[in-house]
């Protein structure tokens, strides 16, 4: 029974009312993932830091991905911290939430500056060993990876995506289709340090496939996934990067997943990864000690069905955290 002070200071007892708290069922033996998350306080340390990058104004297709940081956080409340496959509970893992970066209402370049500054400020706290950035469209990867490069030096990137995201900037400026071209041409990353998994047929232009080849980008199509298997391919990808990079950054575009498993993406399509393939691949990659950061992008809650895509994104986040 909750007891509070009423008018005049007299105690008021409530049998069921609990103002300011969710009225949800609580099993004494179950800890939900969102119960391990608390807002960062200066000087505090934890295991995982998370930051929302709610930019979707640079999307070349209509997108509500700016709402995804909130929807993914809410989805964490649907899952427990116990892994039955590992027979291990992660209820003592401490997740620090650094909040969301306020975007500029009209100036996208100003927003990119804010995103980079905020990611850099977060990792400079050294409060956690690993960080998760919740997009937003894929354009957020340009400022985020730039911040990691300033902190760690040479950064290798594993990108799960149906698209190369190597579009030219002349036709529309920096968009969610240009982040990796921008990173290469700005000298933030080397082409040979970028690995793309899940590139899908009939989803890109020849000019951008040629750009990838000409810049020594390691590109693995869905055909390669089928031929090699996602586990073997992921192991191969790690070996490409581990001996030449100071840090590995994972970038998960949710449209790498088949539309049957991730309907809430602006650019859905058939023939992509299964949910299980993505989760297994992220788990394998995240276990490497050089992995310091990950972004999850292109979740549009306004297009989703029963939060399927946000829930899958929450599982991607959990597979990254619980290794």
Q: What SS3 class is residue 282?
A: helix
CATH of the domain at 216: 3.40.800.10
Residue 165 annotated as binding site: yes
Give the range of the structural domain holding residue 152, as residue numbers without chain letter: 31-321
The CA distance from 315 to 250, in Å, is 15
In a domain, 11, yes or no: no
The predicted structure's pLDDT at residue 22: 79
In a domain, 77, yes or no: yes
The predicted structure's pLDDT at residue 119: 98
DSSP-assigned states of every residue in 15-80: SS--TTS------TT--BGGGGEEE--TT---SEEEEEE---TT-SS---GGGHHHHHHHHGGGSB
The CA distance from 198 to 257, in Å, is 8
Phi first, then psi: give them for residue 121, nearest 5 degrees: -60, -40
Residue 22 annotated as binding site: no
Inter-residue long-range contacts of 176-179, CB under 8 Å, 24+ positions, other chains counted = 176/56, 176/58, 176/59, 176/60, 176/63, 176/137, 176/138, 176/139, 176/297, 176/298, 177/60, 177/138, 178/139, 178/142, 179/138, 179/139, 179/140, 179/141, 179/142, 179/145
Token pair, residue 304, equals: 């989703």
In a domain, 170, yes or no: yes
What is the CB neighbour count within 10 angstroms for residue 262? 27
What is the CB neighbour count within 10 angstroms for residue 98? 21
In a domain, 23, yes or no: no
Whether residue 2 contacts residue 11, with contact meaning beta carbons closer than 8 Å, is answered with no
- Could you report the per-residue pLDDT of 238-289, keeping only the tens digit for each? 999 999 999 999 999 999 999 999 999 999 999 999 999 999 999 999 999 9
The predicted structure's pLDDT at residue 104: 97
The predicted structure's pLDDT at residue 15: 85
Whether residue 277 contacts residue 233, with contact meaning beta carbons closer than 8 Å, is answered with no
Angle of helix 275-286 relative to helix 230-242, nearest 10 degrees? 30
In a domain, 75, yes or no: yes
Residue 288 annotated as binding site: no
Number of domains within the chain: 1
Name the β-bridge partners of 320. none
How open is the CA angle 231-232-233, to the nearest 5 degrees?
Answer: 90
The predicted structure's pLDDT at residue 23: 81
The predicted structure's pLDDT at residue 243: 95
Residue 224 annotated as binding site: no
In a domain, 24, yes or no: no
Whether residue 287 contacts residue 242, with contact meaning beta carbons closer than 8 Å, is answered with no
What is the pLDDT tens value at each position of the chain, 323 positions in all? Answer: 445 555 666 677 888 888 887 788 889 999 999 999 999 999 999 999 999 999 999 999 889 999 999 999 999 999 999 999 999 999 999 999 999 999 999 999 999 999 999 999 999 999 999 999 999 999 999 999 999 999 999 999 999 999 999 999 999 999 999 999 999 999 999 999 999 999 999 999 999 999 999 999 999 999 999 999 999 999 999 999 999 999 999 999 999 999 999 999 999 999 999 999 999 999 999 999 999 999 999 999 999 999 999 999 999 999 999 99
In a domain, 61, yes or no: yes
The CA distance from 97 to 117, in Å, is 16
How open is the CA angle 42-248-258, to the nearest 5 degrees?
Answer: 105
By CB neighbour count within 10 A (0-12 exposed, 13-18 middle, 19+ buried), where does 82 fall? Answer: middle
């Amino acid at each position: 029974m909750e007891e509070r002070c009423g008018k005049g200071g007299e105690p008021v007892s409530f049998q069921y009312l609990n103002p300011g708290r969710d009225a949800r069922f609580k099993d004494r033996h179950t800890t939900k993932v969102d119960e391990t998350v608390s807002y960062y306080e200066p000087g505090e340390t934890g295991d995982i830091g998370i930051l929302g990058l709610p930019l979707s104004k640079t999307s070349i297709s209509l997108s509500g991905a700016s709402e995804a940081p909130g929807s993914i956080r809410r989805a964490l409340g649907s899952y427990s911290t116990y892994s039955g496959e590992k027979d291990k509970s992660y209820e003592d893992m401490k997740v620090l939430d650094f909040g969301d970066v306020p975007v500029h209402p009209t100036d996208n370049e100003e927003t990119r500056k804010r995103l980079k500054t905020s990611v850099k400020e977060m990792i400079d706290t050294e409060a956690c060993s690993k960080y998760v950035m919740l997009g937003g469209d894929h354009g957020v990867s340009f400022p985020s990876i730039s911040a990691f490069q300033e902190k760690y030096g040479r950064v290798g990137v594993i990108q799960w995506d149906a698209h190369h995201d190597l579009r030219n900037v002349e036709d529309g400026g920096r968009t969610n289709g240009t982040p990796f071209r921008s990173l290469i041409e700005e000298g933030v990353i080397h082409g040979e340090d970028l690995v793309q998994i899940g590139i899908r047929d009939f989803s890109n232009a020849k000019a951008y496939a040629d750009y990838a080849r000409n810049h020594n980008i390691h590109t693995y199509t869905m055909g390669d996934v089928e031929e090699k298997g996602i586990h073997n391919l992921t192991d191969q990808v790690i070996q490409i990067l581990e001996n030449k990079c100071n840090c590995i950054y994972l970038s998960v575009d949710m449209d790498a997943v088949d539309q049957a498993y991730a309907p809430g993406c602006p650019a859905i399509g058939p023939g992509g990864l299964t949910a299980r393939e993505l989760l297994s691949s992220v788990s394998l990659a995240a276990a490497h000690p050089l992995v310091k950061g990950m972004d999850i992008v292109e979740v549009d809650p306004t297009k989703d069905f029963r939060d399927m895509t946000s829930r899958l994104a929450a599982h991607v986040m959990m597979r990254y955290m619980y290794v």
